[in-house]
Amino acid sequence: MAKVTISTEVCKGCGLCVGACPKGIIALSEENLNSKGYHPAGVTDADKCIGCAFCATMCPDCAITVEK
C-alpha cells in the first residue's frame, strides 16, 4: 500500500492534484485553512491509493510525496 503525505502548510489549494488522481481520493478541505489562508488538499481514502504519484507530479509546490 502506498503512503501519500501532503504538507498542508505548503499547499496553496490549486486543485491540480485533485484532477490528476485516477482514484479520486484527493480533495480540498472545505473546513480547514492553513496559515496562508488556503484550503489544503487531503487524502480521503488512503487504502484506495495505488501509488501512481500523479498527484505529486502535478503539484507545482512539491507539497506531496508518495511512498510505495
**Domain range spanning residue 21?**
3-67
Q: In this predicted model, what pLDDT tens digit does every residue of 52-65 receive, in sequence order? A: 999 999 999 999 99
Cell of 5: 503525505
Closest Cα to residue 66, out of 23, 55, 27, 58?
55
Number of domains in the chain: 1
H/E element, 56: helix 54-58
pLDDT score at 35: 95
The answer on pLDDT for 46 being more than 90 is: yes
Give the chain's radius of gyration (CA, Å).
11
Mean pLDDT across 9-35: 97
Judged by DSSP in three states, 66 sits in strand
pLDDT at 68: 87
pLDDT value, residue 33: 96
Cell 496562508: give the residue: 36
Between 1 and 40, residue with greater pLDDT: 40
CATH code, 28: 3.30.70.20
**Predicted pLDDT of residue 1:** 82
